[in-house]
Amino acid sequence: MRAVEGKRAIVTGAGSGIGRAAAELLAAEGAAVVVADMDAAAGEAVAAGIRESGGRAVFAACDVASSADCQRTVQTAIREYGGLDILCNNAGIIRRADVVETTEEEWDRVMAVNVTSVFLMSKYAIPVMAAAGGGAIVNTGSGWGLKGGNQAASYCASKGAVVNLTRAMAIDHGRQNIRVNCVCPGDTDTQMLRDEAHQLGQAETDFLAGSVERPLARIGSPMDIAQAILYLVSDASGWVSGTTLVVDGGGLA
């Protein structure tokens, strides 16, 4: 039996990086997946690839900062699969700047994509899960949601909010048999990480080289994080809720 056989899942930010790896892994492990992303070409390609590999997937165009888009994405899961069991709130952005350099517009956008999206997707997903007897939600936080980081004020604030929102949701919805957990990646080889190098005016190779300075001496892969997400939404973690799982090669230690 595959780990999430017969489950219905939404993964946000699934067009690339960690979201793509999570969508592909969940599908390979038996889930029917809604691939949600703003980038239609990337999202459609991920969904098509899953189908070509024998899995079940549909694409949903979704700006996770939009209430209407989040509601439509949940409705897509209901229409296509009859319900929803798993929600991976993965979409995120980063602005590398301190509070002085960050504009109000940048602050608002980081908060909207990284925090408000978790609220909105969960707001519409939880009643559907509860009506079906329960479910599992995984929010993507960050190591910088547990400690501070340089030149990333809005990102650190947003990910700290995700960590504590996870705890609050776990408390509120445990009686509905809905488990809510948070995965906190360290530096992971995604386009977002490479974009950070450009924001800071550094060469990608130099920036990524710094990411291996941790006990396991390598940068993370999207699949490293996807495996942790799979654990948190599967029955293997059936008594795990309200927790934060750090996946960073020992960096935070």
Residue 213: predicted pLDDT = 86
pLDDT-based confidence at residue 197 (cuts at 50, 70, 90): confident
Which residue's structure tokens are 């190779």?
A: 205
Active site residue 81: no
Mean pLDDT, rounded, for 104-111: 98
Q: Which of 81, 124, 155, 231 is catalytic?
A: 155
Q: Are 155 and 199 in contact (CB under 8 A)?
A: no
Mean pLDDT, rounded, for 24-52: 98
Nearest CA-CA partner of 33 in 105, 19, 165: 19
Kindly tell me the burial class for residue 49, based on how many C-beta atoms sit within 10 Å of its own C-beta (0-12, 13-18, 19 or more): middle
C-alpha 200/C-alpha 195 separation (Å) is 9
pTM: 0.97
CA angle 19, 165, 215 (to 5 degrees): 60
DSSP string, 122-161: HHHHHHHHHHTT-EEEEEE--GGGTS--TT-HHHHHHHHH
**CATH number of the 8-188+222-246 domain:** 3.40.50.720
For residue 209, pLDDT over 90 is answered with: no
- Between 191 and 85, name the one with better pLDDT: 85
Which residue's structure tokens are 């239609």?
A: 40
C-alpha 8/C-alpha 223 separation (Å) is 20
DSSP string, 57-113: EEEEE--TT-HHHHHHHHHHHHHHHSS-SEEEE---------TTTS-HHHHHHHHII
Residue 207: predicted pLDDT = 87
Question: For residue 25, what are the CA distances in angstroms to 2, 191, 194?
Answer: 11, 19, 23
Q: Are 91 and 117 in contact (CB under 8 A)?
A: yes
CA angle 172, 175, 178 (to 5 degrees): 75
Percent of the chain surpassing pLDDT 90:
94
